[in-house]
Amino acid sequence: MPPKRRSAAPSAQLSKAAEDKHTNRVGVPGTPGRIPQLSLERHKDKEPPFVSLCQELRVTDEVCNLAWKIWETMVASVDIVLDTSRKHWGACIFVAATDLDAMTFTITEVQKTVGLNVVEFFNLLKKMDINMDTISVKVNTAVSRLEKKYEVLLALFQRFERTCGKIYIAVSDNAGNAGPDAKQIMRSCWTLFLLAKGNVLQMEDDLVISFQLLLCVLEYFIKRSPPTVLQEPFKIAANGVHSTTPTRTSRRGLGRGARAAPKPADTDLRVMEALCKENECTVDEVKNVYFTSFVAFLDSVGLAGSQEIPESEDLSKQYEELYFKSKDFDARLFLDHDETLQPVKTDVSQLERTPRKNPLEEEVLPIPPQTPVRAAMNCIQQLKVILNSASDWPSENLVKYFSNCTVNPSEEITERVVNMRELFIDRFARAVGQQCIEIGSQRFVLGVRLYYRVMESMLRSEEERLSIQNFSKLLSNADFHTSLLACALEVVMATYDWSTFKSSSSSSETDLSFPWILDVFKLKAFDFYKVIESFIKAEPSLTREMIKHLERCEHLIMESIAWRSDSPLFELLRQSREQEGAVEQAEPPGMLNQLLQHDHTAADLYLSPVRSPWKKSQSVASSASQGADAQTGPSSQSQTSSHKHLKSTSLSLFYKKVYRLAYLRLNMLFSHLLKDHPELEHIIWTLFQHTLQHEHELLKDRHLDQIMMSAMYAICKVKNIDLRFKTIVTAYKELPNTHQETFKHVLIREGQYDSIIAFYNQVFMQKLKTNILQYASPRPPTLSPIPHIPCSPYKFSNSPLRVPGSNNVYVSPLKSARMSPSVMTPRSRILVSIGESFGTSEKFQRINQMVSSSDWSLKRGLESNSAPKPLKRLRFDTDGQDEADGSKSAGESKFQQKLAEMTSTRTRMQEQKLKDAAVDSLKEEKH
């Protein structure tokens, strides 16, 4: 049992009230001589109960002062309801101590002191973030780390309880014996796992390795448990171990057993295999964690040679040192179902359900959502199924492509893979733990298999497209290979990172999340972006979640990563300006309302850097010949030397995508804030687009959303619409994929950062004030066209299509060989699988009638592995996008555009303001 009180006497420096409270709290470090003394004379201006709380938590004078200042900021705000001061005081003290690096208490301690549940604690901290300077980025980062650690621990403990329920008999039938019962074993097992996790892993939020480590700990205890407390099949699996284990009379594992001579690692894998089968986990990966990490840990704590079950009290003492050092949660309290660590109960209405059925059909039982552990294991199994038949080396077809090159690139490709392997494993071990080197090696092997597999698919598609077999220029391009292998490794890393597939996205990043892979290989984001779309199209077996993840990686690049000061994007923009003149830009505004063609391949983007903006009608017809020339030698630039202006294909496509992403973000934020002023959206977009087009230097080392929020505020200011930055930021936090750092930590000038308000006042408004004031003049600038927003190109081959006229029948192309039952999820098991029993034949007859009676075709989607083109007038339900192929007539589109322009002009004339409006009126004051 974790101790309810510390045996050490509390410090005499604490007040009597604080002393009493101190001795009754769980896990409070009461080390005499180290508790700072609070000077009561310095805090007479504060409420006595607040000062008393500071004494209980043993904080410094500096922390007390900062916490009170934060509290006064909260009181002055009208946006927060202060129900219980003591809870808010505790949160203020935590924020202050974190900011000042002066934590003198643990998270569990402050929760118990003020009576806060862990979920309430996190929610309270979020509500406290009322202004951009209330809670710093530093505190946000710390809170995000705590949230992730709690979520991982909760998921692991829930799986631990379920697994133990299948391993151990609930009520021990050997109660009269001296041996431990199941509850004692479980307590020791969980505590040893916490100790192992804290010692082996540097990344506290790695769910997969942590779970594999938990299975190692369970195996260790099963082999040492009395057969009378074990259930089948674990009893049989452990039978051989027990038959060779000497009879034990003592259970003091850390006392005498800890000093026994180390024995060779147990190679009997029957228990491990039973555990892995029960948890749908790969035996090889768990075995690797056991021999590379767990055995070394056992040796470090003196348990390697012991055959006895270690005592929970002894383990708790060792864990306390780890807990007090980390100053976060006391995870032993999960064993007692302590209220401070209890999650929010899932509402029955939130359970995942299958699509609604016809009223005449039977009711469908709700399917509980997948647990994090099961979801992670399923994703890994699906990846393994895809790569089981793949090779660690180039296939025969790839070798043929290599040999067809003018200079065979095989040796160079192999050498690059070896060098990247060393870089990857070194960085992986530094991030996760030096004992996890072999785990990093295993993941790199999976990435290499996927790299060769996708490369072959890409070359096969290029051969069909261009009717050539010599890909010398592409296969000798180092950036292409580095990007392709990095993309394959990102897929592997994301598969093993459970947070990749979480619906709550704003704080799900881990230490290994994108763009970690770019930093490992010193790869420029702009080069990496070129391969993403082709990678997705070349690997039809990617799951929908993984496609979404890669699309999110592309968005991150377009939002901020590609705008870093060392990005090659700025050199391309400079060259484009020199070639086309200062009045030109990366992509003319007139192109924005045209369909974005997603027929560019990685070869186009890497090897055809320039194209002519003229004669676009001829570009499709000549693309094959130009692509062939690009592969076999002649530069595409020589093909277009007669044209006056040349433009980068990769830059043009990048800007088209940026414009569309920028407008989508603006549209979402606008719908939150300015629904009553619909005429402003087009004006705000015009200023936003103008900045991206002509003032792209403002984006250097900044974020796309910072420009968006500034443009919105500027137009509202000049149009006399009362919209404060505080309101904008509050709405912005509700958008998907947003981060506090975006509006709290904005570059002002080199080395100086401040809030979005300071950026607007000192940088954005100063740079664009002349342009901004034009929107108040009688002759405002011409409005930029709204970009055409098609459905994502990455969902064509993977999204199920609803049968028109049907109730809930969806058809999607076969992605891969049929999954084994062990890989299938509860949801996938309930889906129709032809050849399996699915109830009555009438159900199939109704499906056949609906499909045969519908006027549609999936032929193009099923003919090949490539992504099919969207059918004419096909409406997709998935993203709320209608007419996804832009099949409206040109006349109708022009009429609507003209009508929109007339409406916009009339609105502007009605709302004209004086041109000489003071520039000071554009500034935002800090409220």
* CA distance to 444, 532, 534, per residue, from 420 (Å): 9, 19, 22
Report helix, strand or coil for 748: strand
Round to whole Å and give the CA distance between 123 and 373.
Answer: 24
Model pLDDT for residues 583-597, shown as the tens digit of each residue: 344 555 545 444 445
Handedness of CA 569, 575, 581, 584 (dihedral sign): negative
Rounded mean pLDDT of 520-531? 96
Burial category of 767 from C-beta neighbours within 10 Å (exposed 0-12, middle 13-18, buried 19 and up) = middle
Q: pLDDT class for 164, splitting at 50, 70, 90?
A: very high
Residue whose C-alpha is closest to residue 600's, from 648, 552, 559 = 648
Residue whose C-alpha is closest to residue 236's, from 246, 222, 249 = 222
Model pLDDT for residues 598-618, shown as the tens digit of each residue: 567 777 787 654 433 333 333
Round to whole Å and give the CA distance between 184 and 203.
Answer: 29
The domain 372-559 having CATH identifier 1.10.472.10: the answer here is: yes
Domain locations in the chain as residue ranges: 40-134, 145-171+180-240+268-341, 372-559, 649-775
Round to whole Å and give the CA distance between 433 and 439.
Answer: 10
pLDDT of 368 above 80: no
pLDDT of 135 above 90: no
Phi first, then psi, for residue 796 (nearest 5°) are -65, -45
Q: What angle do CA 633, 635, 638 make, to 5 degrees?
A: 130
Model pLDDT for residues 89-115, shown as the tens digit of each residue: 999 999 999 999 999 999 999 999 999
| Residue 749 parent element (H or E) | strand 746-749
pTM comes to: 0.77
Of the options 3.30.9.10, 2.40.50.100, 1.10.10.60, 1.10.472.10, the CATH number for the domain spanning 649-775: 1.10.472.10
pLDDT of residue 478: 95
pLDDT of residue 906: 56
Superfamily of domain 40-134: Cyclin-like (1.10.472.10)
Residue whose C-alpha is closest to residue 311's, from 271, 265, 259, 257 = 257
Rounded mean pLDDT of 225-253? 65
Domain pair 145-171+180-240+268-341 / 372-559, same fold: yes
Model pLDDT for residues 442-486, shown as the tens digit of each residue: 999 999 999 999 999 999 999 998 888 899 999 999 999 999 999
User: What token pair was written down for 300?
Assistant: 């470090």
User: What token pair was written down for 410?
Assistant: 């095989």
Round to whole Å and give the CA distance between 267 and 572.
Answer: 58
pLDDT of 797 above 60: no
Q: pLDDT class for 139, splitting at 50, 70, 90?
A: very high
User: What token pair was written down for 406?
Assistant: 């003018």
Q: Hey, what's the torsion of the CAs at 837, 842, 845, 851, to 10 degrees?
A: -90
Q: pLDDT class for 511, splitting at 50, 70, 90?
A: confident
- CATH code for 145-171+180-240+268-341? 1.10.472.140
Rounded mean pLDDT of 312-327? 90
Model pLDDT for residues 176-185, shown as the tens digit of each residue: 444 568 888 9
The answer to whether residues 876 and 790 touch, using CB atoms and an 8 Å cutoff, is no
Q: pLDDT class for 810, splitting at 50, 70, 90?
A: low
Q: What angle do CA 493, 496, 499 make, to 5 degrees?
A: 95
User: What token pair was written down for 90?
Assistant: 């505790």
Model pLDDT for residues 3-12, shown as the tens digit of each residue: 333 333 333 3
Among 52-66, 297-311, 402-416, 542-556, where is mean pLDDT lowest? 297-311
Q: Which residues pair with 749 in a beta bridge?
A: 752
Q: Any idea what DSSP says for residue 428?
A: H
pLDDT of residue 264: 43
Q: Which residues pair with 230 in a beta bridge?
A: 168
Model pLDDT for residues 830-841, shown as the tens digit of each residue: 444 444 444 556
Among 123-127, 300-304, 592-596, where is mean pLDDT lowest? 592-596
pLDDT of 728 above 50: yes
Using the structure block, give the residue that is written with the tokens 């009754």.
24
pLDDT over 90, % of the chain? 47
